[in-house]
């Protein structure tokens, strides 16, 4: 699956004024992250297990 075929979701923590926006999309075994202000720009792709660990760590902070 290419990143152009992904369904992107904006973070619920993104501001209403369009700044500091993060979007994520999931594909089998991988989570993709990008800046919503630059959808054609760089993207981070990580293993879904790694993403789950990151989210758990961030939630504990």
Closest CA to 29 of 48, 45, 43: 48
32 by DSSP, 3-state: which?
strand
Q: What is the pLDDT of residues 31-46, one digit of tens each?
A: 999 998 888 999 999 9
Domains in the chain: how many in total?
1
Residue 59 scores a pLDDT above 80: yes
Q: What is the pLDDT of residue 3?
A: 61
Q: Is-contact 29 47, C-beta < 8 A? A: yes
Q: Which uninterrupted H or E stretch holds 23? A: strand 22-27
What pLDDT, on a 0 to 100 scale, did the predictor assign at position 22? 87
- The predicted-structure confidence for 3-56, as pLDDT tens digits, reads as follows 668 999 987 777 666 667 889 999 999 999 999 888 899 999 999 999 999 999
| Domain assignment of residue 19, given as a range | 3-59
């Amino acid at each position: 699956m290419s990143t152009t075929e992904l369904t992107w979701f904006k973070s619920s923590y993104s501001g209403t004024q369009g700044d500091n926006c993060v979007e994520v999309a999931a594909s089998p075994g991988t989570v993709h992250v990008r800046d919503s202000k630059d959808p054609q720009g760089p993207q981070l792709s990580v293993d879904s297990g790694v993403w789950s660990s990151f989210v758990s760590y961030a939630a504990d902070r």
